[in-house]
Amino acid sequence: MKKSVGIVSVFLFVLIFVSRSEAVSIDSLRIAVRNLPDDTTKAKELANLSYKYIKYQIDSSLYFATEALKLSKKLNYNYGYAYALKQKGLAHKYLAEYDSALYCYTKSLEYFDNLGIDSERASLLNRLGNLYKRDGLFDQSLESFLSALSISELLKDSTMISAIYNNLGILYLNIGNHNKALEYHMLNLNLKRKLKSEESIPIILMNIGNVYREKGSYEQAIEFYNQALVHLEYSDYKYDRLLLVHNMGTLYEENNKFKEALEFYNKALSLEKEMNDKEMQVFSLQGIGNVLIKSGNFNEGIKYLENSYALANLIGDIRKQHALSSDLYKEYEKQGDFKKGFVFLKRYVQIEDSIFNLEGKKQITELEQKYEAEKRNQQIAFLEKEQSIQKLELSKREIEAKQKSFQRNVLIIAIIVVLVLTFYFARENKKRKRINNLLIKQNKKITEQRTEIVNQNNELIESNKTKDRLFQIIAHDLRSPLVSMDSITQLIPYWVEEQDYESLKKLSKTLELSVKNVLSLIDNLLNWALNQQGNFPYKPENLRLKENILETIEVYRPIAEIKNIDLKFIFTKDVLVFADRNMLFTVMRNLLNNAVKFTPEKGEIIVGIDCNQQFAKVWVKDSGIGIPKEKREMVFELANGQGKGTKGETGKGLGLFFCKEFVSMNNGDIFIESGMQKGTTITFTLPLFNVVEN
């Protein structure tokens, strides 16, 4: 059984330092604030009211923070807007809406940076450190905490220094640096005793107990926990007492003292329900379930684990669902209930894929954002040139208008003074020529600028198409090796259960080879993408055809073995070809991928090399399901689509399109022969090196 959940850290330690001596109750204060006029005082008091509700009615806290935001925005009150954002972020955090909390804290910090209010900056950096710590971003968390500590020490703010000491102790505990964790918690304890701040001491004692527990010093951990419990037994700090009770349950469970563990877990669950803290309820339900199962009461224990999983699903805690689905699968498997065990195993694998995809999507999103920024800059440049053209056209119209006015005046003067008219016309004729020359030059300049804009627009369109194709290639080429790795990892639990260590050893070697090949593939694709500057790079070189094709075959051999496909490579002799290495790899990967995908189990795939006086010929022949006649002529088109493989494998039908493009770019050709249930043979040619040289 998986070990019970670890230490529940104190995320809201900073809240215990605010003054609790209020002249009126919260409800009375709410009525008083409602009657205030809509000014900056009301905006700030609404935010304060949000803070006062945070431990009692979180929905009300979020409501008052939102009202404070609206009023501050209406009044253009920057301090009030920043302060309300800070309190709204805290409400989102208590509701486990961590992305919203991170957004509010970050925006609030930007405002307070501009306002130059250091005390608020330190407070927000401390809160951001806690959020980063929760997401496992320990470097960013440590940076935020140390920045907050530096500001607080300059301000000599002992309250904030204490809060940061506490959070640094918890962070170092998460990292596994127990000595550093104890150092900061002891600094905090000494500071609080110096300040005679008794209300904070129980939390510090509990955190010191947490560190000793992680170190395996259980007697010292119990000693500090009991000291903390004495301080909190009759206090109003429900959340602090909850954390301590839960941690004591965890400690007793780890020491196999199940009776005491159940007692403390049930106390914690009762407090969590009273406080409507669903995130903590997940931990307590899991703890009770684990203890009951360890005690031999499987039926009751499994109910608690399933309730914990359902609650984690309700609040959207995907990492907790991941851990619980693994526990449930293993427990059902131990009891021989493979049907229920398979349900949770399937969910575990789905969540595992989801967590992996989130990281990949994040990287793709960053690339897309960079691309969009570049696109916007080009559009801005385009608009600026359009405006320049409009100004030139306006200048032209003004000149023409002046000309007409001048000619009209000349005619009037001509009627009055004939002699002067002759002299005047001669001079004005020269002036008109100068103006006409200027207009001709301006018209030529306008035409040139228009041509330049059209060319830039065409380049932008082509650049966008190229980038889109590059993203499609990366997604398409990475998928098949990863499917192979996924299939191999699914076999590991089976061989572990069968205790077939020889098969496991073979699988590990196969998995290692697959990982290395995938890493090599990623390096090639990334290098390709980094060298890409508006067109696909074409860098032909002298290549040994056998060596390069064999390297690609080894990437797909594990995939073929999963379907029991016999993958052969035959050749009469090795030859030198003149081609782009990356393009050759991409062509071979796509052809082998399609062959494996559409070849049934125990089928056969043959890769061969032949040549004539001018070209090397490479062919990939499979015993697969073949291609219908009506689709055969469209297989090399971009929008051909693609059917499912013999095992339901999917694809976007991009592979053969890129094969044809890359073979053509290397001065070769590609052909296909296929019949339904007769297999498919795809052949492509590349120029021999000596032919190109001659």
Instruction: List, for residues 20-61, the tens digit of each pLDDT value.
Output: 334 346 666 677 777 788 898 888 888 888 888 887 788 888
Cα distance between residue 653 and residue 634, in whole Å: 11
User: Distances from the Cα of 140 to the Cαs of 90, 97, 106, 111, 129, in angstroms?
Assistant: 19, 20, 13, 20, 7
Q: How far apart are CA 51 and CA 14, in angstroms?
A: 12
Residue 363: is its pLDDT beyond 60?
Answer: no
| Single-letter amino acid, residue 239 | Y
Residue 685 binned pLDDT confidence (cut-offs 50, 70, 90): very high
d(CA 18, CA 267): 27
Q: For residues 293 and 274, is the Cβ–Cβ distance under 8 A?
A: no
Across 14-18, 231-235, 357-361, least confident range: 14-18
What is the mean pLDDT of the segment spanning 167-174? 92
Query: Can you give the pLDDT at residue 398?
Result: 73
Question: Which position has the higher pLDDT, 12 or 606?
Answer: 606
pLDDT top residue among 687 and 309: 687
Please give the pLDDT value at position 364: 41
**What average pLDDT does range 628-654 have in this prediction?**
64
Tens digits of per-residue pLDDT, 136-164? 899 999 999 999 999 999 999 999 999 99
pLDDT band per the 50, 70, 90 thresholds, residue 572: confident
Q: Cα separation of 242 and 561, whole Å?
A: 54
| Count of residues in the chain | 694
Helices 278-294, 318-334: crossing angle, 10 deg rounding: 20
Q: How confident is the model at residue 305, as a pLDDT?
A: 82
Asked whether residue 73 is domain-assigned, the answer is no
CA distances, 313 to each of 188, 279, 285, 307, 333 (Å): 37, 11, 14, 10, 22
How many angstroms separate the Cα of 189 from the Cα of each of 16, 45, 87, 161, 223?
A: 15, 33, 28, 12, 16
pLDDT reading at 616 higher than 90: yes
The residue type at 73 = K
CA–CA distances in Å: residue 47 to residues 13, 90, 131:
20, 11, 21
Residue 362 covered by a domain: no
3-state SS, residue 564: coil
3-class DSSP string for 347-380: HHHHHHHHHHHHHHHHHHHHHHHHHHHHHHHHHH
Tell me if the pTM is above 0.85.
Answer: no
Residue 84 lies in a domain: no
- How does residue 273 score in pLDDT terms, banded at 50, 70 and 90? confident
Count of the separate structural domains present in the chain: 1
Could you give phi then psi for residue 55, rounded to 5 degrees? -95, -5
Q: How far apart are CA 88 and CA 102, in angstroms?
A: 10
pLDDT above 50: residue 371: no
Q: Output 88 or 280, whichever has higher pLDDT.
A: 88
Looking at per-residue pLDDT, the higher value among 402 and 110 belongs to 110
CATH of the domain at 642: 3.30.565.10
Digit-coded pLDDT (tens) for 438-447: 778 887 888 8
Residue 112 resides in a domain: no
Of 82, 88, 149, 132, nearest in space to 109 by CA: 82
Strand pairing category for 566-571 and 604-611: parallel
Q: Which of 22-31, 137-146, 253-262, 328-337 has the lowest mean pLDDT?
A: 22-31
Average pLDDT of the chain? 80
Residue 391 burial by CB count (10 A; 0-12/13-18/19+): exposed, middle or buried? exposed
Tokens of 321: 């669902």
Neighbours of 413 (CB within 10 A): 13
What's the CA gap between 396 and 594, in Å, rounded? 63
Strand-pair partners of 681: 621, 673
> How far is Cα 334 from Cα 83, in angstroms, rounded to an integer?
54
Residue type at position 394: L
CB 325 within 8 A of CB 348: yes
Q: Give the domain range for residue 614.
A: 538-693
Question: Does residue 390 carry a pLDDT above 70?
Answer: no
Residue 608 within a domain: yes
- Is 468 in contact with 638 (CB distance < 8 Å)? no
Q: Which of 173, 169, 170, 195 is nearest to 184 (CA)?
A: 169
What's the pLDDT at 357? Answer: 54
Other CB atoms within a 10 A radius of the CB of residue 380 amount to 10
pLDDT of residue 567: 93
pLDDT at 322 over 50: yes
Residue 604's SS3 state is strand
Phi, psi of 19 (to 5 degrees): -70, 135
* Residue with token string 């510090």: 204
Q: Given a cut of 70, is residue 88 above it in pLDDT?
A: yes
Contact 687, 615 (CB under 8 A): yes
**Res 14 pLDDT > 70:** no
Q: What is the pLDDT of residue 678?
A: 82
Mean pLDDT of 445-466: 78
- Decide if 626 is inside a domain: yes
Whether residue 446 lies inside any domain: the answer is no
Q: Does residue 269 lie in a domain region?
A: no
- Residue 130 pLDDT: 92
Per the structure block, which two tokens stand in for 598? 């559409």
Q: How does pLDDT run across 514-540, given as a tens digit for each residue?
A: 675 566 556 555 545 554 554 567 889
Buried b (16+ CB within 10 A) or exposed e, 157-170: bbbbbbbbbbbbbb
Beta-carbon count within 10 A of 41 CB: 12
Task: Please give the Cα distance from 43 to 46 (Å, whole number).
Answer: 5
Predicted pLDDT at 116: 94
Q: What's the start-to-end Cα distance of the chain, in Å?
A: 71
What sign does the CA torsion over 216, 218, 224, 229 have? Answer: positive
**What would the DSSP string read from start to end of 634-645?**
TTTSTT------
Q: Report which DSSP code applies to 687.
A: E
Please, are residues 598 and 564 in contact by the beta-carbon 8 Å criterion? no
pLDDT at position 23 = 31
Backbone angles phi, psi at 620, to 5 degrees: -120, 115
